[in-house]
A and B are shown apart, each in its own frame.
Chain A
Amino acid sequence: MSTKVLIVDDEIEFASTLAERLVIRDYDAKAVYTAEDAITAVQSEPPDVVLLDLRMPGANGFEVLSTIKSVDPSIEVILLTGQLKSESVVEGIPTGLFDYIVKPVDIAELVKKINSASEKRNSGTP
């Protein structure tokens, strides 16, 4: 069964193209563009891995992360960020974040991180 990936980013062009690139690589990928739609998608069709933009209109990425974890703690979240040396990203790791990736995204690196996140979810390790 394909790994289910939910991409959450208000940059529609970026998120939809990334979803397409992941579908080509046999992932079951879907893009949503608001924090509200992300929460709805996580509740109705829980993904294995969420790629979450840190900065979205009216929403803090860490608050969205916390809501996702409250729905299902086993969903792994990878943060998408434009800040290479962001202290806030590093600080987020102990609070349930699996990893982060810096934009512009390298697809090979992203695929590796998605696979590791998916393996962790399937192994059931906390």
Chain B
Amino acid sequence: MEHDKLTPSQFNFIGTILSLFSHEMNNHLAIVKNSVGLIGDFIRLGKTSRKDLQEILKTIQSIENQIEETSYFCDNLSGFGHGMEKPLSTFSVHKCVEELIILLRRLASQRRVQLEKNLSVNIPLIHNNPLMLQFLIFCFIEKNLKRLDDNSKIIIKTTYSNNSIEISIIPKGNFIKDEEGICKDEIYQQLIRQLGGNISQKTAGEEITIQLPISQSSAAT
């Protein structure tokens, strides 16, 4: 029953990630095509002075940089995809957070909000459902993106204590406070139950913390 309620939102999440990815890839390809075209223009026009050759080398370097950036971007989608292969796996929370930040960068930048990470060192791997965790973090990032003013920031912070990991989503900037508290929503309560953790909110509408145990053998499948 809980799964029936969650599925449309999860499809929406995966759809958002895929459309952002394809938009980003298209931009990367547009840059590479333009740069290759510029080199072609130089060759066709017989531009071979020392200055022109330096310009060509600069353009080649920028294509190489772009390809490296594209490859890194693809690697993050690949990690995200692997997270869906099995419902339960042993994974790094940091990798989950980093993937999400990279994949949501464009969405945040379109809303003029910066996504920042503050990851604690020496956090152990956890056994749980990575897709479900990313979905939950995404929900809180998206909620904040919708209500934050331009030039704001969302910080994703991790800490480790008492055999559990805390992931905090902290809005920095002006926003309308939610008196009810975001995390009271039933859908988030269902998600966190399936992850075997807790959600808490410091003040209404402000910092949200997801607390997860290191091992969650009974997490949702």
Contact A104 B29 (CB under 8 A): yes
B30 interfacial contact with A, CB 8 Å: yes
Partner of A11, one of B27, B37, B41, B112: B27
Residues of A within 8 A of B37 (CB): 17, 21, 107
- Docked complex Cα distance between A18 and B37 (Å): 9
Instruction: State the main secondary structure of chain A at its contact with B.
Output: mixed
Contact A105 B33 (CB under 8 A): yes
Taking residues whose C-beta sits less than 8 angstroms from the other chain, chain B's interface range is 20 to 34
Contact B111 A104 (CB under 8 A): no
Partner of B34, one of A17, A55, A57, A82: A17
Partner of B30, one of A14, A20, A24: A14
Bitwise, A1-24 to B at CB < 8 A (1) or not (0) is 000000000110110011011001
- Whether A105 contacts B38 in the complex (CB less than 8 A), given A57-B109, A58-B112, comes out as no
B112 to A: closest C-beta gap in Å: 4
Contact A11 B31 (CB under 8 A): yes
Contact B34 A18 (CB under 8 A): yes
Partner of A104, one of B30, B59, B110, B150: B30
- Whether A82 contacts B30 in the complex (CB less than 8 A), given A17-B38, A21-B41, A107-B37, comes out as yes
A96-110 residues with Cβ-Cβ distance < 8 A to B are 103-105, 107
Residues of B within 8 A of A11 (CB): 27, 30-31
- Docked complex Cα distance between A10 and B106 (Å): 11
Residues of A within 8 A of B150 (CB): 58
Bitwise, B93-112 to A at CB < 8 A (1) or not (0) is 00000000000000001111
B27-79 residues with Cβ-Cβ distance < 8 A to A are 27, 29-35, 37-38, 41, 45, 59, 62, 66
- Docked complex Cα distance between A107 and B36 (Å): 12
Residues of A within 8 A of B45 (CB): 24
Instruction: State the main secondary structure of chain B at its contact with A.
Output: helix
Taking residues whose C-beta sits less than 8 angstroms from the other chain, chain A's interface range is 10 to 19
B152 to A: closest C-beta gap in Å: 11
Contact B110 A82 (CB under 8 A): no
Whose C-beta in chain B lies nearest to the C-beta of A12? B31
- Docked complex Cα distance between A55 and B110 (Å): 7
Identify the 9 closest CB pairs spanning chains A and B, nearest first: A104-B30, A104-B33, A103-B30, A58-B112, A82-B26, A17-B34, A14-B31, A13-B31, A57-B109
Question: Which residues of A are at the interface with B, using a C-beta cutoff of 8 A?
Answer: 10-11, 13-14, 17-18, 20-21, 24, 55-58, 82, 103-105, 107
Would you mind naming 29 contact pairs between A and B with Cβ atoms under 8 Å apart?
A11-B30, A13-B35, A13-B62, A13-B66, A14-B30, A14-B31, A17-B37, A17-B38, A18-B34, A21-B34, A21-B38, A21-B41, A24-B38, A24-B41, A55-B23, A55-B110, A56-B110, A57-B110, A57-B111, A57-B112, A58-B111, A58-B150, A82-B23, A104-B30, A104-B32, A104-B34, A105-B30, A105-B33, A107-B37
